Amino acid sequence: MDPFLSFEVTVPGSSANLGSGFDSIGMAVNRFLHLRFSPAEEWTVTAEDESFREVMQKGDNLILEVMKEVFQAVDQQLPPFRLEVESEIPLMRGLGSSAAAIVGGLMAANHLLGDPFSVQELFRRAVHREGHPDNVGPSLFGGVVVASWDGEKVHAVPAPLPPFSVIAVIPELPLATSRSRKVLPAQLRFDEAVLGSSRANLLTAALFSGDWDAFGIGLRDRFHQPFRSALVPGLNRVLQESVLHGALGAALSGAGPTMAVFTFDPKSVRQFVEKVFQEEGIPVQVLTLSPQAEGAVIRLTEGMRS
């Protein structure tokens, strides 16, 4: 059997926006999507996690859709596989599950075709599919990525990996990106846009210089968080109070509802967020995450698994 047909794609999740870097800046985190492929007579997709099984039962399989698109682009038909999906990235929580699925599907299809597409071309296709580069960039390349997409071309620059921890506060209830984008305004007042842009500039400068005080100010977004806070109970308290408890600052992770708190003192921040959500009566899972340097990788698995 061709050893290239049994393989595993591992893709990190991500926290997009980092506050004011809306639709532009994102950071890979150490929670992963694993896609295990082996040849089969017909397609089967299995997932241990119930929420992923539900998504797939609805015929809503982003990974397969993306793979089929790549094969169609080179006039080939996708052969059948057994695909085992294991994910540590919760669905619709703002930790980049859809971007990881898109990147995983693109990497798998490219591998099966003998790598006809460059990583830059995979990135362009991923951005086109997701609609913005801030999750797919970090999932594909790892680390922090600063990017701009005009609907046709994408430009991206990697930033140094920050040394802080990320406390992720993950509410139980999902929030689809589509719903969280519907509350955004069609227009921003000029002075608001100028302030938002200056914060994003400061954020970028801070990421490259390692000025963590400036980073905390740069996180203070004007583009999306003020409009999304109504959808995410507890967000305003986390944004306003976390700096009093050892945080550099906080942001809504991606489209939410996860909140990301950036800190060199994870213990103190964990205690603070656990207290806030207990007081508010909102069930959340709290994880201590790290920025993830390595992006998506493929590993051949034949002979390694039963």
Ligand X SMILES: N[C@@H](CCO)C(=O)O
Coil, strand or helix at 170 = strand
Among 129, 132, 220, 222, binds ligand X (CB under 6 A): 132
Q: Does 177 bind ligand ATP (CB under 6 A)?
A: yes
* Residue among 31, 4, 22 at smallest CA distance from 168: 31
Among 25, 28, 29, 63, binds ligand ATP (CB under 6 A): 63
* Residue among 254, 270, 276, 269 at smallest CA distance from 89: 254
| Sequential DSSP letters for 222-267 | SSSHHHHGGGSTTHHHHHHHGGGGTEEEEEE-TTSS-EEEEES-HH
Shortest spacing between CB 144 and ligand X, in angstroms = 14
Shortest spacing between CB 92 and ligand X, in angstroms = 10
304 is in an annotated binding site: no
Q: Which does 21 bind (CB under 5 to 8 A by kind): ligand X, ligand ATP, none?
A: none
Q: Does 254 bind ligand X (CB under 6 A)?
A: yes
Q: Does 253 bind ligand X (CB under 6 A)?
A: no
Q: What angle do CA 35, 36, 41 make, to 5 degrees?
A: 120
Residue list 195-224, contact with ligand X (CB under 6 A): 224
Identity of the residue numbered 108? A
* Angstrom distance (rounded) from CA 147 to CA 127: 10
- Size of the chain in residues: 306
Residue list 247-286, contact with ligand ATP (CB under 6 A): 254-255
Q: Does 94 bind ligand ATP (CB under 6 A)?
A: yes
Shortest spacing between CB 102 and ligand ATP, in angstroms = 8
Q: Does 92 bind ligand ATP (CB under 6 A)?
A: yes
Which residues contribute to the annotated binding site for ATP? 90-100
